[in-house]
Amino acid sequence: MFVDQVKVFIKAGNGGDGIVSFRHEKYVAYGGPFGGDGGKGGDVIFEADPGMTTLLDLRYHRKIIAQNGEKGKNKRMHGANGENKIVKVPLGTLVKREDTGEIVADLTEPYQQQIVAEGGRGGRGNCHFKSARNTAPKYAEDGKSGQEFTAIVELRVLADVGLVGFPSVGKSTFLEAVTRAKPEIGDYPFTTITPNVGVVQTKDGRSFVLADLPGLIEGASQGKGLGHQFLKHIERCRVIIHVIDMGGEDGRDPVEDYKVINDELGSYHLRLLERPQIVVANKMDLENSEENLKRFKEAYPTVPVYEATTIIHEGLDPILRKAADLLQTTPAFPIENEENKNTGVVYKFEERKKDVEIKNIAPHVWEVSGPKIDKSFDIKKLNTEEDYYLFANRMRYMGIDRMLREAGVEDGDTVQLNGFEFEFVEN
């Protein structure tokens, strides 16, 4: 089964917590703090595997989670780092964040690796907090959370040259004639529903990768037919071979077909039209082919046309030589973020989510919430007097004391934070 797009959840490992420990050894006076640091959380790494051709494995493993770092140990020993999670994918794989559309990995080289989610840093043990004023600190840092997000993993066929055109114009026959690939060939539309790839060897010794891609129809850029399922694969190609049924076998007009296909390429992404295009007039053995070719040249006098009859392997060598020539002078086209596509300008207002929010939920009762609070405080770890002291200092450092006063909190009011209640005392 050919699978070229999968949605997965990615979670890098959390850093291990530092620990509170003190040195207790015979003949060692004033041993002092001896707690070690937590280990770093494991990264999530994607690796390009040349032996893979589909994202089928990810379809059945949609949660990718790296190992957490271990807690620190006594005697200032560092906790073990979490093991990285390596995910093998085919060449040509893109990894994008679902929320922003940002491309976090573009794997085009064999065995290329890319970190897509970084593990959290380990917390420091209490040995780091010793000072002249506090020679026996009883607190340590918590490990930081690893990155996590939902990602769209896409496979975009890694080919130098792509065959485009309406269904049943002879693209699969062309691929079979010039490579050892064996695509399905039939006399009905959309015979090819997945990309087929083969290696072309020209008579002068040059070679390149050719992809037979599913046929286009009018409206493909809006998702009709195979739509984006086809168009995204051609973004990897540097040269386009545009195959036209010049015989008009299915009753279509080849002149109109050429315009429709180029309109769809331009509507999907304007940079597709920057790629050099070789126009192939196929099926020149049919009755109306000569007349249609004459009309085509009148309509597009500046477009070079290569005549061919792919079913009998006629006229193919000049096309392959031209494609090899163009590849020598055409650079690779980088894949751009979805938001950079020229699809028009849309202005919309989205209120930014507040990091810290203070609500008056009852008379003299206030609630403090927000993502910054969830990330910074773990009430379960308030066990000692020093933990509470550190908690109060952090509240003051983050400006929450000031925000409470500005919201109208008075001396003696109750403040709720992550399920914990405390009394606000005005100094």
Q: Is 190 annotated as a binding residue?
A: yes
Q: Does 212 carry a binding-site annotation?
A: yes
- 130: tokens are 């010793």
Q: Please return the burial class of 349, using the count of CB atoms within 10 Å of its CB with bins 0-12, 13-18 and 19+.
A: exposed
Instruction: Say whether 403 counts as a known binding-site residue.
Output: no
CA nearest 245: which of 214, 193, 280? 280
Other C-beta atoms within 10 Å of 178: how many?
A: 21
Q: Is 119 annotated as a binding residue?
A: no
248 is in an annotated binding site: no
The annotation status of 282 as a binding-site residue, yes or no, is yes
Residue 246 labelled as part of a binding site:
no
417 is in an annotated binding site: no
Task: Decide if 126 contacts 137 (C-beta within 8 A).
Answer: yes
Q: Is 330 marked as a binding-site residue?
A: no
Annotated ligand binding at 167? The verdict is: yes
B/e letters for 326-338, b = 16+ CB within 10 Å, e = fewer, are bbeebeeeebeee
Could you give the CA distance from residue 335 to residue 331 in angstroms, rounded to a whole number?
13
- Distance CA(311)–CA(308), nearest Å, equals 9
311 is in an annotated binding site: yes
Q: Are 93 and 153 in contact (CB under 8 A)?
A: yes
Q: Residue 2 annotated as binding?
A: no
Q: Does the annotation flag 173 for ligand binding? A: no
179 annotated among ligand-binding-site residues: no
How far is residue 214's CA from residue 168's CA, in Å, rounded to a whole number?
10
**169 labelled binding-site residue:** yes
Position 24: which residue type?
H
104 marked among binding-site residues: no
**Cβ(221)–Cβ(264) below 8 Å:** yes
- Measure Cα distances from 210 to 33, 237, 256, 321 in Å: 65, 9, 26, 13
The token duo for 302 is 């500046």
Q: Is 285 annotated as a binding residue?
A: yes
Residue 208 near residue 161 (C-beta atoms within 8 A):
yes
**Residue 166 annotated as part of some ligand binding site:** yes
Tell me whether residue 149 is annotated as binding: no
Q: Any known ligand binding at 361? A: no
Is 384 annotated to bind a ligand? Reply is no
**Residue 309, marked binder:** yes
SS3 content of the chain, % helix, strand, coil (to 5): 25, 25, 50
Residue list for the binding site for Mg(2+):
172, 192
Residue list for the binding site:
165-172, 190-194, 212-215, 282-285, 309-311
Residue list for the binding site for GTP:
165-172, 190-194, 212-215, 282-285, 309-311
